[in-house]
Homo-oligomer: A and B are copies of this chain.
Amino acid sequence: MKKHKLIIADDHKMFLDGLLSILAAKKEYEIVLTANSGKNVAKYLDINNSKEPIDLVVTDVNMPELNGIELNRHIKEKHQKVKTLVVSMLHDAMTVQTLTKDNVDGYVPKNAEKDELLTAIETILRGEKYFSQSIKDVYLKGMFSNEQTLMQSLSKREKEVLKLIAQEFTTQEIADKLFLSKHTIESYRKNLISKLEVRNLAGLTKYAIKLGLLEE
């Protein structure tokens, strides 16, 4: 019987050790590489995958250099045959949605049982998808939450203005910055307040943060 070739990636070394000890005990699997960043996985695949094709990459979401989302995207673009399984904390709905949109093959939270992880891996290697119930819950909840819908209901310009508002710029300053009339910005402000169902600048600011419009 041919062993399935796996890569596992997580920046928490102890967790990586844990995964490794679970998977190395199974003779069906060969751990070809363990990595603490997505970049190392991508690099490895880009160089070696044609010679020695990998079956599955098990990866965390939060990683330096190239995170799990980006790694999954890279794999699904450049190495379509390689399956991906995300093993991470429970993330927000958007993360899950992004991953599924990018055709990830499975998602198991880190608080799952060992057995569920093994089931997930088997299922995926058979060519099916595997998502834990809690992940499906998050996904569905996200579908009907208004955060997501509201974000989509905002146009590009509205998001731009919202961002500047939350960055403490006044209407006049934003108008100057965008070469628009201050009346225009006032309109946006009004629309944002009614669309997001908030009362004032404080509510707008909170939404800007929630929607991830602010970096620093």
A binding-site residues for B, Cβ under 8 Å: 11-15, 17-19, 21-22, 36, 87, 89, 109-114, 117, 165-168, 170, 198-206, 209, 214
Contact = CB atoms under 8 A, between A and B. Distances in A.
Contacts of A167: 202
Q: Specify which of A11, A12, A165 lies most central, judged by the most chain B CB atoms within 10 Å of its CB.
A: A12
A209 to B, nearest CB: 6
B202 A114 contact: no
Copies of this chain, count? 2
User: Nearest 7 CB-CB pairs, A to B?
Assistant: A18-B18, A12-B110, A205-B205, A201-B201, A21-B21, A168-B199, A202-B205
Contact of A117 (B14, B201, B206): B14
Contacts of A203: 168
Given A18-B18, A201-B201, 9 more contacts: A11-B111, A12-B15, A12-B109, A13-B111, A13-B113, A14-B87, A17-B21, A18-B22, A202-B204
A149 to B, nearest CB: 18
A31 to B, nearest CB: 14
